[in-house]
Amino acid sequence: MISLLAAFALIATGPAAAAAPAADSPPAIIGFTAAHAGDEHALEARFDAALKPGDLRAWMERLTRHPHHVGSPWDKANMDFILSLYKSWGYDAHEERFDVLFPTPKQRLLELTAPTTFKASLTEDPVAGDRSSQQQREYLPPFNAYSPDGDVRGSLVYVNYGLQADYDLLAQHGIDVRGKIVIARYGHAWRGIKPKVAAEHGAIGCIIYSDPANDGFGRGDTYPNGPWRAPSSVQRGAVTDDVYLGDPSMPGRASLPGSTGRLTYKQAQTIAAIPTMPISYRDAQPLLAALRGAAVPSAWHGGLALPYHFGGGAARVHMIVKSNWRITPIYDVIARMTGTVEPNVWTIRGNHQDAWVSGAADPISGQVAVLEEARAVSVLAKSGWRPKRTMIYCAWDAEEPGLLGSTAWTEAHHEELAKNAALYVNSDTNGRGFFFADGTHSVESMLNGIAKDVQDPERPASIYARTRASEIVGGDRTGENEDDDIHLGAPGSGSDYASFSDYYGIPVMDIGFAGENGDGGVYHSAYDSFAWYVKYGDPAFAYGVTLAKVGGRAMLRFANADVLPYRYTAFAKTLDRYRGEIVKLVDDTRALTATTNRHLAQHVGELAADPHEPYVAPQPLGDVPTFDFTTLTAATERLTAASAAYDMAADAALARGVIPPAADPALVAVERGELDNRGLPRRPLYKNQIYEPGYYTGYDAKTMPGIREALEARNWDEARSYIPTVTAVVSSLADRINAATATLK
């Protein structure tokens, strides 16, 4: 590793120097006049010089010394330590306490009762030389948080990933899961979707296991010989049905100490519908081996050396899950550096601190990068620089059980946030590899500027160039798109940016590095440890420092810019793409409906099925009506025009060296236009009509979700009823951008 780095360092002066501009014309930075862009580049060079990888390593060693799950002594000790760091660097810092419903395991049992017997160990083996893996008496054993209590017995059925399409296939094979216990493998959706869909089909219990094909020996050597998942390793995690975010006992309200009107766990809508338990592939092997019935199709085969069957017959399991349902205090650290010119315009940076076990990768790898970023900002402040706008650094508690710490904080401060928050920058797990970013598309141009300015630590190229290259090799960039900006993924859920965007329409970005660290191989297990991280995650903390460079630039550019560095052309283009996808979805659904019904009439599925196996034909599909999207199309055209006009006006003003005095409040207000108080169907607290996590995906975003998800569910009236809502939102965004343009005149 070291010699490789040294070799690249020698040639790094080649292409990098050739791309550097002449000293008298510093490269432009979005939001800055030419003169101030030079100052900003000089400031960022000093910021970079202050970053020390040794800090990241030392803090990670400290923060992962004991398990630091919600409510544990080390969780609080870590928060106190982080608070003391921020105070020592001169931030105005404090802890904020919230009290949340957090279950911990009381009783766990899983046994095969027929045709043979086997009792699952439900434990992770200690590994020599890995302190975290040996702290079994301190850490929470494998469990799925927010499974309801239950003691269930039933026939066992393998349901692949446990999504709707899997149950459709089971139904065709004449297998239903009513009154049975399902075993699903992890992957392809938020884990909480698996018990949700299983319960919708009548199952009474849900086992989720890590198949070695997905993150074990099917991917590479397993821990401790490699980064991938070991046979006894279990992925913990919450299994809520996230119809709202945060504390299940306090929907839509901050869980302040002493709050009244809490829901009990039985009243809370987000608690999983059926008892759910995670297991290792070592424990899954005998269960899957006991299944009989038809062999599964090849796409359902995992990596275990056994014939995978659907089951649903004689193999029976007994499962007990019971938890201590306690109200538990959590502590967020909030550290502020107040802006000198516009103290009421806030840029917020955050990463969680709590983990399922020791969480070296998830979340401490990101947490230590944020701490080092904040320390380097304080070094600038000590040398006389001050931010024009306010910067706020946050360490979140209780992210793992369901974004409880960040959601409670945004709920407690939503009025100030609505007025003041310009951007929330999130990170979480970080490791070696390629830069990735999800986020609101109004910051896509700025973030690409940053990605072109920051060098990869292990190749003589920018992080933009490496991501671009990996996307070309992966087939995601072709032909005329090869030199496009990195396109931000739409923000869904799965980390602490969710409530900022989903509830309050605050622009967000979620950033990090991944892809070369066996990421996922120890996810939410006892092996996500310091020992694992310094061997496989990011041994030199080089990508941690690089994450600090990216996050720090986003913070500093928002804090220092002459005009807040939003650009709306990419935003409008992306929203128009979403509109086009929805129009196409109607046409595609109509065509698919016709084909499906024709094949049903011709008995195609039945004729292709093995006559010796059961076959149940699905019901014919109803017709797809027509939809009128002309108003939505007109609104997106208006948004496109407004966005182009703003971007031109902002660039022209900055090129003239004119600093518009009043643009910021109008700009901060733009993306609040994404909200509509109607919320989403069955999820009224999710008010963003552009970006939301999917009802059946959990993590992945659904864009223009009111229309899109209704179409996917063939709920035609609901889809039609959301067209005016989304149209009004897009129109409001155009009006708000026009109002911002007017302040530049």
- Residue 528 touches Zn ion, criterion: CB under 5 A: no
For Zn ion, the closer of residues 444 and 496 by Cβ is: 496
Contact between 650 and 564 (Cβ < 8 Å): no
For Zn ion, the closer of residues 44 and 428 by Cβ is: 428
Q: What is the radius of gyration, based on Cα positions, of the chain?
A: 26
Which of 482, 478, 503 lies closest to 491 in space, CA to CA?
503
- Taken as a whole, the chain contains a residue count of 745
Residues 326-365 that bind Zn ion (CB under 5 A): 362-363
- What ranges in 565-670 are assigned the alpha helix state H? 569-601, 604-608, 630-655, 663-670
**DSSP letter (8 states) at residue 59:** H
Stretch that binds Zn ion, among 299-307, 333-341, 427-435, 653-661 (CB under 5 A): 427-435
Q: How many whole angstroms separate alpha carbon 364 and alpha carbon 113?
A: 41
Rounded to a whole number of angstroms, the minimum distance from the CB of residue 494 to Zn ion is 8
Stretch that binds Zn ion, among 190-198, 428-436, 446-454, 698-706 (CB under 5 A): 428-436
Rounded to a whole number of angstroms, the minimum distance from the CB of residue 369 to Zn ion is 13
Per-residue binder mask for Zn ion (CB under 5 A), 599-638, x = binder: ----------------------------------------
Stretch that binds Zn ion, among 127-135, 287-295, 401-409, 426-434 (CB under 5 A): 426-434
Rounded to a whole number of angstroms, the minimum distance from the CB of residue 517 to Zn ion is 15
For Zn ion, the closer of residues 352 and 567 by Cβ is: 352
CA atoms within 13 A on the CB side of 437: 28
For Zn ion, the closer of residues 426 and 727 by Cβ is: 426
Per-residue binder mask for Zn ion (CB under 5 A), 359-398, x = binder: ---xx-----------------------------------
Rounded to a whole number of angstroms, the minimum distance from the CB of residue 363 to Zn ion is 4
For Zn ion, the closer of residues 124 and 362 by Cβ is: 362
Rounded to a whole number of angstroms, the minimum distance from the CB of residue 427 to Zn ion is 9
For Zn ion, the closer of residues 31 and 363 by Cβ is: 363
Contact between 43 and 380 (Cβ < 8 Å): yes
Burial of 379 (0-12, 13-18, 19+ CB in 10 A): middle
For Zn ion, the closer of residues 55 and 428 by Cβ is: 428
Burial of 14 (0-12, 13-18, 19+ CB in 10 A): exposed
Rounded to a whole number of angstroms, the minimum distance from the CB of residue 278 to Zn ion is 16
For Zn ion, the closer of residues 681 and 693 by Cβ is: 693
126 preceded by cis ω (within 30°)? no
Instruction: State the residue for tokens 């040639």.
Output: 11
Stretch that binds Zn ion, among 210-218, 388-396, 425-433, 486-494 (CB under 5 A): 425-433
Rounded to a whole number of angstroms, the minimum distance from the CB of residue 495 to Zn ion is 6
Burial of 129 (0-12, 13-18, 19+ CB in 10 A): exposed
For Zn ion, the closer of residues 192 and 363 by Cβ is: 363
Rounded to a whole number of angstroms, the minimum distance from the CB of residue 204 to Zn ion is 31
Rounded to a whole number of angstroms, the minimum distance from the CB of residue 400 to Zn ion is 7
Rounded to a whole number of angstroms, the minimum distance from the CB of residue 235 to Zn ion is 13
Instruction: State the residue for tokens 């407004």.
Output: 642
- Looking at residue 315, its amino acid is A
Q: Which of 124, 130, 372, 428 binds Zn ion (CB under 5 A)?
A: 428
**Dihedral angle sign, alpha carbons of residues 504, 635, 738, 35:** positive
- Looking at residue 223, its amino acid is Y
Stretch that binds Zn ion, among 279-287, 423-431, 474-482, 512-520 (CB under 5 A): 423-431
Rounded to 5°, the CA angle 296-298-299 comes to 100
Burial of 101 (0-12, 13-18, 19+ CB in 10 A): buried
For Zn ion, the closer of residues 187 and 231 by Cβ is: 187
Stretch that binds Zn ion, among 76-84, 201-209, 424-432, 634-642 (CB under 5 A): 424-432
Rounded to 5°, the CA angle 62-64-70 comes to 120
- Looking at residue 661, its amino acid is P
Residue 145's H or E segment, with its range, is: strand 144-145
For Zn ion, the closer of residues 442 and 495 by Cβ is: 495
Which three-class secondary structure string do you get for 632-661?
Answer: HHHHHHHHHHHHHHHHHHHHHHHHCCCCCC
**DSSP letter (8 states) at residue 688:** B
Rounded to a whole number of angstroms, the minimum distance from the CB of residue 352 to Zn ion is 6
Rounded to a whole number of angstroms, the minimum distance from the CB of residue 145 to Zn ion is 14
**DSSP letter (8 states) at residue 440:** -
Rounded to a whole number of angstroms, the minimum distance from the CB of residue 431 to Zn ion is 12
Rounded to a whole number of angstroms, the minimum distance from the CB of residue 248 to Zn ion is 19
Max intra-chain CA distance, the chain: 81
Contact between 257 and 99 (Cβ < 8 Å): yes
Q: How many whole angstroms separate alpha carbon 292 and alpha carbon 282?
A: 19
For Zn ion, the closer of residues 302 and 433 by Cβ is: 433
For Zn ion, the closer of residues 283 and 400 by Cβ is: 400
Distance of CA 457 to the CA centre of its chain: 24
Q: How many whole angstroms separate alpha carbon 525 and alpha carbon 521?
A: 9
For Zn ion, the closer of residues 75 and 362 by Cβ is: 362
Count of beta carbons in the 10 Å neighbourhood of residue 35: 10
Rounded to a whole number of angstroms, the minimum distance from the CB of residue 180 to Zn ion is 33
Residues β-bridged to residue 153:
318
Tell me if residue 193 falls in helix, strand or coil.
helix
Residues 270-309 that bind Zn ion (CB under 5 A): none
The site that binds Zn ion (CB under 5 A) totals a number of residues, namely: 3
224 preceded by cis ω (within 30°)? yes
**DSSP letter (8 states) at residue 248:** T
Rounded to a whole number of angstroms, the minimum distance from the CB of residue 96 to Zn ion is 20
For Zn ion, the closer of residues 66 and 236 by Cβ is: 236
Contact between 701 and 693 (Cβ < 8 Å): yes
For Zn ion, the closer of residues 363 and 705 by Cβ is: 363
Q: Which residues bind Zn ion (CB under 5 A)?
A: 362-363, 428
